[in-house]
Structure 1
Amino acid sequence: MNPLSSLATAVVLACALAAPVGAQTLEKIRSTATITLGVRDSSMPMSYLLAENQPVGFQVDICHRIVEAIRKNLGLQKIDVRYQVVTSQNRVPLVRNGSVDLECGSTTNNLARQQDVAFTLTTYIEEVRMAVRTASNIRSVKDLEGKTVVATTGTTSVQHLRRNSRAGGLKINEVLGKDHAESFLILESGKADAWVIDAGLLSATIAASKNPSEFAVVGEVLNTEPLAIMLRKDDASLKAIADDTIRELIRSGEMKTLWSKWYLEPIPPRGVRLNMAPPAALQRLWAQPNDLPMESHASPK
């Protein structure tokens, strides 16, 4: 076989393996005894990497519970868990094309993404706010006039920032970080006056920074967002197992234990405490779990 034919065959085979053609995810896992989890590198404490690229976090732990439920459901002795680091830009395509089976990051469930992927029951309700230098005079969106604001590429925070600036008639210089780590670096280095993203992520990033006292989370809530685990669309059998696992975590109290582990107790790598109680909206969600998209949640006035 000539080299070009070999290459063409390899490409076809790679696409066939990556795409969820006809076969449901559970059947793929049954036949390979392998699952691929999408994780983030710096979405602390939801999903982030330690030394030697070990993924950890609140959302990662929930995914591990789902993997164990899948193993039992399929009657497998073991499932080999593989990890794929995803970004805000590529996470949806990697789930859609079959490269990632469960995306265990910090992704908002919204109607636009539901065109391409599905979501489990909501695992976290987040409020979008901004982080600034403590010494600055920025305490509200209106204080951003003429300022430079950073947001992470591919996140919903970009849209919220633009919507709020237009509504207030503000002139804001917008810059984009390729990931959360870079976005904070832009703020930390003084190249931006504020960073807009989920409040929990802001608090965690600040707590783990070199000088936490130099930064603060301020301002009004720009949006309320439900975060969930992504999976492929129209895969009802996998979603059922994932949703049942999340319901059981809530019912048994283990979800609160996981919350304490990541939001109240010292977390790696530096043993910082976030000291974040579960938001009232999240406690209501635990009482009545749902998978409603962002657009179904009340927006801030």
Structure 2
Amino acid sequence: MALFLLSSPVCHAHGVHSKNTLDKIAETKTITLGYQDDAFPFSYIEGQRPTGYSIDICNKLVDAIKVKLKLKDLKVRWIKSSTASQFVLIKNHATDIMCIPGFYSELRHQKAEFSFPFFFSSTRFITRKNNHTDTIDDLAGHSVLVKSGTIYVEQIHTINRTNDLNLNIELDNNNKGAFQELQSGELPALISSTAILKGMIAMSPTPDEFEISDQTLSPPIPAGLLLPLDDSEFKNFLDNTLKTLITGKDFQKLYQRWFQSPIPPNAINLNIPMSAELKKLTTSTTLYAY
């Protein structure tokens, strides 16, 4: 299986977009996947290759597509994306699958399809311990940082408006840059999913200086892979493949590798048990309905 890493979208030949995704892949013998370099442990770069939990899941989907289409060789093109550009890449068919955790909302579902979920996470915020910030109300009148293009922008604007907190909501387009602003003391809080925040702290040279809020800003939200809209054949195939994976005997090992074991090369163990929502899916006999 050949692999290409690209930093910009691929322009397909005229007329290819009119085909459904599986036909396009069969014709070009190529699948184009989106990744992020700042979404540890889901999607990041290690050894000049995309790696992570959602990358592993995408690779298993690629294997299933290769079998379905009876392709001896299937080239994989990886396109670097961001949370801000992911919906554009999917809409323009520059990527076939976004291999990053796409946390669901009705508004986001208008822009892209969501696959069968493979993770659930609540939204929280991270602060420096010396800030003594326990709840979102403690941040009233202050600035908070959110990564652009994420579901957390939508959530914090709703919380701010509903609770009249007078928050100044600032956006950053990179998790690493956002954490640096928090680390330097430029901004008091950073909002994201619990898993992403735990990853940021674990990779910090001074993890003991930070804490994640006990308060959750959302219930557990399902995360799937972003897919093209209006391609039910592709979605149904991937959903059934993901369901088979998640209800299979090896899924527990895959989950433990990324969330309950030391992750090379720095032996980071996030110690995140499988959520009740995901556990339920591992024994479900039906497809998940958003």
Same fold? TM cut 0.5: yes
Any residues of structure 2 matched to 1:63-212 within 5 Å, and which? Answer: 63-212=58-207
Q: State the shift of 1:287 in Å.
A: 3.2
Amino acid at match of 1:238: F
Query: Which of 52, 57, 62 does residue 57 from structure 1 map onto?
Result: 52
CA–CA separation in structure 2 for the residues paired with 1:178 and 1:40: 11
Cα distance in 1 between the residues matched to 2:246 and 2:176: 31
Matched residue count: 279
Write the distance in 2 (CA, Å) between the matches of 1:112 and 1:291. 18
The one of 16, 30, 39 aligned to 2:26: 30
Aligned to 1:221, the other structure's residue is in SS state coil
| Residues 287 and 90 (structure 1), Cα distance of their counterparts in 2 relative to 1, 3 Å cut | same
SS of the residue corresponding to residue 233 of structure 1 reads: coil
Alignment partner of 1:233 is 2:196 = no
1:257 aligns with 2:240: no
CA contact (8 A) 2:239 2:287 kept: no
Identity of aligned residues (%): 29
Aligned-residue offset at 1:157: 0.7
Select which of 278, 281, 285 maps to 1:282. Answer: 278
2:256 is aligned with what amino acid? Answer: S
Secondary structure of the residue aligned to 1:149 is: strand
Find the aligned partners of 1:146 and 1:21 in 2 and give their Cα distance.
48
Q: CA deviation at 1:16?
A: 5.6
Corresponding residue for 1:17? 13
Partner SS for 2:23: helix
In structure 1, the gaps of 5 or more residues are: 1-13, 294-301
Report the RMSD for the aligned CA atoms in angstroms.
1.8
Q: Which stretches in structure 2 are left out of the alignment for 5+ residues?
A: 1-9
In the alignment, the residues of structure 1 paired with residue 109 and residue 209 of structure 2 have an alpha-carbon distance, to the nearest angstrom, of 38
Q: Whose radius of gyration is greater, 1 or 2? A: 1
TM-score, with normalisation over the residues of structure 2? 0.90
Following superposition, the deviation at residue 51 of structure 1 comes to 3.8
Which amino acid in 1 is paired with 2:142? K
TM score, norm. by length of structure 1 = 0.87
CA contact (8 A) 1:92 1:117 kept: yes
C-alpha spacing 1:114/1:17, structure 2 compared with 1 (3 Å): farther
Q: Distance in 2 between matches of 1:263 and 1:77?
A: 33
